[in-house]
Structure 1
Amino acid sequence: MKPTATLAPVAVTMGEPAGIGGELTLKAWQARRSAAGALAFFAVDDPDRLRRVAQRLDLAVDTVEIATPAEAPGIFAHALPVMAQPLAVPDQPGHLDVRNAGAVIASIERAARLARDGSASAVVTNPIQKKTLQAAGFPHPGHTEFLAALGGAPGRPADVVMMLACRTLRVVPVTIHVALRRALDILSTDLIVQAGRIAADAMRRDFGLEAPRLAVAGLNPHAGEGRTMGDEDADIVAPAVAALRAAGIDATGPLPPDTMFHEAARARYDLALCMYHDQALIPIKTIDFAGGVNVTLGLPFIRTSPDHGTALDIAGTGAADPSSLLAALDMAADMAHRRALRAIAA
């Protein structure tokens, strides 16, 4: 699905300055600047940093500072539009500096604000280094939780879930950035139902699936195997599946997690609802590590992201692969187009 020219451009955030985010943004612009039907994007970033990255890696990318997103489409074909968000200190590839945490956070906040007011059609976030942000006082476990706060009402975060998607698989972990022991403590029927409802709504609104099929993973080996391997699947997961079905959602499970992700099994559902972080992320990163996209479902604006980290070990070498960022840009554009069509139809 190709976006229309009437859509606002996409805002791309800075990400960790010491990582590969700048390189990805520059390479993505090179790949999209002349692509037919591609939606323009602009970077919320430090223009000097991007120039340093381009010079360091010998990337032929010019940058032009903009004051508003509306300027981006007219510039995009010949230069990367940049909304300036200066760093506190110059970046050094592979070397984290907590002094730049404020600029990273501000980049996300500005992009989210522009998406909320319609100036940007979506937010695409470059990877962040959570530990560095938290050392500067950042109170959130990760992007998803921060965006929930930015997307909600004052004092009440939006109800969101994290989805990872590639061409042949979509997964939603019910519990996200918590230790496994903590995930087992907080998993509940209500939490599973909430995640399933948000996911099903998003599949209809943003992905064109009017009757999405949800496969719900069991928690224990063999989905508990008749309580011989734990009671959680019978007492927590199965009631959630029943509640989702009672709400009119095509949900199946709990299913044995070890047989859910082979090719034939994936053809029987549109999204897998998983009980904890790695249960969801291991299969999708195995299937398509370079092309996976992280999507936050349930926000009042569209947010996608590459499904990988900051890659400090290769920062500044020119080895970063922009495939996941390009996939995130494409998915954001498709989602924005579908929302626009729904708004017109309404």
Structure 2
Amino acid sequence: MSRPRIAITSGDPAGIGPEIMARAASVLAPRIAAGDLSLVLIGSAAKHRAAVALLGLDDVAVTVTPDAIGPDTAGISFVDVDPDRLHVPVGQSTAEGGRIAYDAIDTAVRLAMDGKVGAICTGPISKEALNFAGHHYSGHTELLADLTGARDSVMLLVHGNMRVSHVTTHVALQDVPRRVTPERIGRVVTLTDEALRALGVERRKIAVAALNPHAGEGGLFGRQDIDVTEPTIGALRDQGFNVEGPVPGDTVFVKLRAKQFDAVVAMYHDQGHIPVKLLGFSVDEATGRWEALSGVNVTLGLPIVRTSVDHGTAFDIAGKGIASETSLIEAIDLAVAFARARKG
């Protein structure tokens, strides 16, 4: 394709996804007109039009079918996966909303697997609604792995120079230690290194966070870091990776922010998510509400490029026209970067 073409799914139609997708398309319209990229929006056309009207925007998308998207498709297209106009109440998890969200993701994946788009960028979904609809996944990562036939994928969060990948994600804390294996650590470091290379990071210095406080304190607080992580890092260094650790979790992210490292491999979900989201959220001190979230979620190890917003459906503010498109635009820009790198 002559320009990066990115598919965007609106996520759960009852959340803020349709609003941020409409805002992002409007903001990016000048760049699209200049030929920098093109977009394929996927979701409920009825919800999209409602969002456009709510926000007072012009509808800049042309409705098409997936089969109509070809090598010369430019501008902003819209693929409707809700032809029956299912009733989806704003701000609620429903089977209908989960069905639309799933169908949008499935459509985007098929377009990417067929080479019709260079990357997909996903809006926020409700895991509850997805399960109501009969799609029993704990999140996008697991769903995308199933749809693409991929195994052992990796979640990477990006906020500026804060790049954090994860050994484990949606599992109970009690199950984390047995999942921290040499094979998994090696897989995460390898994919993180490849992602840094794709983003043009030359040094590619990666820190592996410790699982236990103080990296186990010589075995007083557990031996996982000593018996598993340390020798694995040594083997990875022998293979040529610029990797250090295990670095205690209470300092490793400060060092990443100080640019001593280019990425951190976190051991579990909250260890990696909390520092990125703490820096990414913009909070109104007067009201205590968050105004915007900067940050992108990337799935590594898939046969396609996938990025996502790093926030949820925000059912509490859906339909109010106040949701920020910041994270979605960052996710689109990162998808463009990865798509160009993969294209070579």
Instruction: Normalising by structure 1, report the TM-score.
Output: 0.89
1:183 matched residue in structure 2 = 176
Which residue type is aligned with residue 51 of structure 1? R
1:62, distance to aligned residue in structure 2 (A):
4.2
2:329 matched residue in structure 1 = 326
User: What CA distance in whole angstroms lies between the structure 1 residues aligned with 2:189 and 2:342?
Assistant: 20
SS of the aligned residue for 2:207 comes to strand
1:228, distance to aligned residue in structure 2 (A):
1.9
* Equivalent position to 1:195, from 185, 188, 194: 188
1:49, distance to aligned residue in structure 2 (A):
1.6
Which residue type is aligned with residue 47 of structure 1? A
1:72, distance to aligned residue in structure 2 (A):
8.3
1:20, distance to aligned residue in structure 2 (A):
0.4
SS of the aligned residue for 1:261 comes to helix
1:100, distance to aligned residue in structure 2 (A):
3.2
In the alignment, structure 1 residue 101 sits paired with structure 2 residue 98: yes
1:110 matched residue in structure 2 = 107
1:199, distance to aligned residue in structure 2 (A):
1.7
* Equivalent position to 2:215, from 216, 219, 223: 223
RMSD: 2.0
User: What CA distance in whole angstroms lies between the structure 2 residues aligned with 1:43 and 1:104?
Assistant: 12
1:71, distance to aligned residue in structure 2 (A):
8.4
Does structure 1 conserve the Cα–Cα contact (< 8 Å) formed by 2:44 and 2:85? no
What's the CA shift string for 1:99-134, capped at 9, x where partnerless?
A: 232221111111011111210010000011011112
1:241 matched residue in structure 2 = 233
1:37 to 1:161, Cα distance in 2 relative to 1, 3 A: same
1:264, distance to aligned residue in structure 2 (A):
6.8
In the alignment, structure 1 residue 173 sits paired with structure 2 residue 166: yes
1:31 matched residue in structure 2 = 27
Which residue type is aligned with residue 33 of structure 1? A
SS of the aligned residue for 1:320 comes to coil
In the alignment, structure 1 residue 336 sits paired with structure 2 residue 339: yes
Does structure 2 conserve the Cα–Cα contact (< 8 Å) formed by 1:202 and 1:298? no
1:323 to 1:188, Cα distance in 2 relative to 1, 3 A: same
Does structure 2 conserve the Cα–Cα contact (< 8 Å) formed by 1:238 and 1:253? yes
Does structure 2 conserve the Cα–Cα contact (< 8 Å) formed by 1:168 and 1:266? no
What's the CA shift string for 1:166-202, capped at 9, x where partnerless?
A: 1121001100111212223422222211211222223
1:72 to 1:17, Cα distance in 2 relative to 1, 3 A: farther
1:159 matched residue in structure 2 = 152
In the alignment, structure 1 residue 125 sits paired with structure 2 residue 130: no
* Equivalent position to 1:21, from 17, 23, 30: 17
1:335, distance to aligned residue in structure 2 (A):
1.2
User: What CA distance in whole angstroms lies between the structure 2 residues aligned with 1:74 and 1:171?
Assistant: 33
User: What CA distance in whole angstroms lies between the structure 2 residues aligned with 1:90 and 1:54?
Assistant: 18
Percent identical pairs in the alignment equals: 38
Does structure 1 conserve the Cα–Cα contact (< 8 Å) formed by 2:46 and 2:85? no
> What is the total number of aligned residue pairs between the two structures?
328
- Mean alpha-carbon deviation: is it higher for 222-231 or for 324-333? 222-231
Residues 285-304 of structure 1 mapped to structure 2, 5 A cutoff: 285-289=277-281, 290-304=293-307
What's the CA shift string for 1:61-111, capped at 9, x where partnerless?
A: 3442113333885443xxxx2012116613322022212322211111110
Instruction: Normalising by structure 2, report the TM-score.
Output: 0.89
Which residue type is aligned with residue 130 of structure 1? K
1:269, distance to aligned residue in structure 2 (A):
1.3
Which residue type is aligned with residue 165 of structure 1? V
What's the CA shift string for 1:247-286, capped at 9, x where partnerless?
A: 2111100001111122676412111001000110111111
In the alignment, structure 1 residue 208 sits paired with structure 2 residue 176: no
1:144, distance to aligned residue in structure 2 (A):
0.6
User: What CA distance in whole angstroms lies between the structure 2 residues aligned with 1:113 and 1:329?
Assistant: 18
SS of the aligned residue for 1:304 comes to strand
1:21, distance to aligned residue in structure 2 (A):
0.4
1:72 to 1:328, Cα distance in 2 relative to 1, 3 A: farther
Which residue type is aligned with residue 37 of structure 2? L
User: What CA distance in whole angstroms lies between the structure 1 residues aligned with 2:64 and 2:326?
Assistant: 26
1:42 matched residue in structure 2 = 40
1:82 matched residue in structure 2 = 78
2:273 matched residue in structure 1 = 281
What's the CA shift string for 1:13-55, capped at 9, x where partnerless?
A: 1301100000010000111000356411121112122112222
Does structure 2 conserve the Cα–Cα contact (< 8 Å) formed by 1:172 and 1:272? yes
- Mean alpha-carbon deviation: is it higher for 93-102 or for 309-318? 93-102
User: What CA distance in whole angstroms lies between the structure 2 residues aligned with 1:8 and 1:259?
Assistant: 38
Does structure 2 conserve the Cα–Cα contact (< 8 Å) formed by 1:217 and 1:257? yes
